[in-house]
Amino acid sequence: MIEEKRLHPLQIIPYVGKYLFLLLLPAARGLLAIRSPEALYAWVRGAWFDILILLMIVLFSYLTWRCNTFSCDGENLILKNGLFIRRESRIPLGHITTLSSEAPYYLAPLGARRVFVDTAGGALRSFDFQLLMHSRDAEALLALRLREPTAQERGIYRPKWRYLVFLSVVVSSTLTGVLFVATAFNQAGKILGREFQQLLLSELETLAGVVEFIPRTAALIALIVLIGWGITFVRNLLHYIGFSVTRYNTFLYIRTGFFIRRRYTCPVKAINYLDYRQSVLSKILRLNVVFIQCIGYGKRKNDKAVLVPAASRSATDRTVEKLLWEFSRKPVQVHPAFGALWRYTRWQLLACALLVPAVMAFSRFFPFWAELIRLGGAVCVFPLVWRLVLALFERAATGIAAGDDCLTLCYAKGFVLHTVVLPLDRVSCIHLRQSVFQKPIGACDVWIYSYNERATAHRIRQLPIEEVKKILHLE
């Protein structure tokens, strides 16, 4: 139970923005005042009107804050808001998929924390409710499940440092970092002047010129990409410092973050599936990164729904057995049909075969850009070969297994291998597709859709159709 309380007073600041349209009146009066000295004098004498408008904005914001409250009666989270039209929202606690909070470094000293509430029936890309609370109130709200009589701690997991570093390497986005560097470079030019911007660019070019066997332009691009990736790596590492997962009877309690401390509570019944992911690098190193799909967890920008940052197969199985014993993966029982290797590798082999002739042709037709075209072709070799190697791994790992309560689905998507453990009661649809080329060899593509805010599709390619029907009981 939580008695009716108000949000943190800092919530007044966003409310001020809602009434900024009232400033149009003083602005219009000021524009009229610049026509003549007499009008300007009259505007100064009438400054009381502008002060009155500002006081009205502050007053309306304060009254709006006073009218916005939250409480909990033990079964529902009750939110009340509205100054002139009162609204009341009741969210059953049992229907909340993820209840989370974050305490940024600039809010923590002020005793404030953001709280996010998400359910299966809300928006796809945003939280259903966002509240700015006192830290003690946020802790009390998240601790409601901890105070249940049946809420007993069943297991806790804290990863090793090297696994957090590996996770940060895996999830770091080069594009995001480059965009950050470009934005920072542009803003530095605006704030500190074009001379500083030119000086910074000159230093980068000098640094890029140290590598003599690479063209200066290519070295400069590589340096910017490396700096961008490094920025996202450090940000992700700070995000996952202090990561831990605690299993209680019916939910997970997840903590993470250094400068921005985050807390999540996810009911086990709200977890749609478990996802073991491997890239080519992690496959070679024999490491797995485990994610969960729970509505609301991982919905923030640059946030990931991590359960196990990285570990070997046996270690991840032990951790999952301790935290989510309901999700047990099985060895693959149905493998791809005979002759499926060509279908897994055809596009990669074709792209590799056409790359060199394409580079030569474009260099001939555009001689002025020949060096840049050859550089682009050399850069394209790496992702093509990387994807070809992944396709070989995919052919060896793809398949389906069925247990008493869960399906195990192994497939590749993009540059990642997925092993999904999907409970049978979370399956919304199973669809078998067979092309004219697959029919002679008795193969098909299996599409399995799982429940989510929007159905998630899992595609397993080139499986024997008769074995699939038998294992999934579709006959």
Report the alpha-carbon distance of residue 239 to residue 224 in Å, rounded.
23
pTM as predicted: 0.82
Predicted local distance difference test score (pLDDT) of residue 210: 52
Predicted local distance difference test score (pLDDT) of residue 33: 59
Report the alpha-carbon distance of residue 405 to residue 419 in Å, rounded.
16
Residue 88 reports pLDDT greater than 80: yes
Predicted local distance difference test score (pLDDT) of residue 181: 55
Residue 275 reports pLDDT greater than 90: yes
Residue 148 reports pLDDT greater than 60: no
Residues of the chain above pLDDT 90, percent: 26
Report the alpha-carbon distance of residue 461 to residue 456 in Å, rounded.
16
Phi, psi of 130 (to 5 degrees): -125, 125
Predicted local distance difference test score (pLDDT) of residue 113: 93
Average pLDDT over residues 49-72: 84
Average pLDDT over residues 82-105: 88
More confident call, 286 vs 202: 286
Confidence of residue 446 (pLDDT cuts 50, 70, 90): very high
- Give me the residue label for tokens 């490491």: 287
Residue 36 reports pLDDT greater than 70: no
- Which helix (H) or strand (E) is 313 found in, with range? helix 313-323
Residue 167 reports pLDDT greater than 60: yes
Q: How far apart are the two ends of the chain, measured CA to CA in Å?
A: 51
Of 369, 377, 374, whose CA–CA distance to 351 is shortest?
377
Of 243, 239, 207, whose CA–CA distance to 222 is shortest?
207
More confident call, 214 vs 446: 446
Lowest mean pLDDT among 40-44, 126-130, 421-425: 40-44
* Cβ contact 73:15 at 8 Å: no
Report the alpha-carbon distance of residue 363 to residue 219 in Å, rounded.
21
Q: Which residue type, as a one-letter code, is found at position 150?
A: T
Tokens of 364: 């001939």
* Cβ contact 15:65 at 8 Å: yes
- According to the per-residue pLDDT averaged within each range, which of 161-170, 272-281, 466-475 is highest? 272-281
Report the alpha-carbon distance of residue 458 to residue 447 in Å, rounded.
6
- Which helix (H) or strand (E) is 334 found in, with range? none
Count of all residues that appear for the chain in the document: 475
Q: Which residue type, as a one-letter code, is found at position 279?
A: S
Lowest mean pLDDT among 79-88, 130-139, 251-260, 366-375: 366-375
* Cβ contact 32:78 at 8 Å: no
* Cβ contact 2:141 at 8 Å: yes
- Give me the residue label for tokens 């020949």: 370
How far are the Cα atoms of 61, 227, 392, 397 from residue 212, in angstroms, in the given order?
A: 61, 19, 36, 43
Average pLDDT over residues 334-344: 80
pLDDT tens digits for range 177-223: 555 555 555 555 555 556 555 655 565 556 545 555 455 566 666 66
Residue 394 reports pLDDT greater than 80: yes
* Cβ contact 459:411 at 8 Å: yes
Q: Per-residue DSSP letters for 229-294?
A: HHHHHHHHHHHHTT-EEEE-SSEEEEEE-SSSEEEEEEEGGGEEEEEEEE-HHHHHTT-EEEEEEE
Q: 276, exposed or middle or buried, with CB in 10 Å at 0-12, 13-18, 19+?
A: buried
Report the alpha-carbon distance of residue 328 to residue 195 in Å, rounded.
60
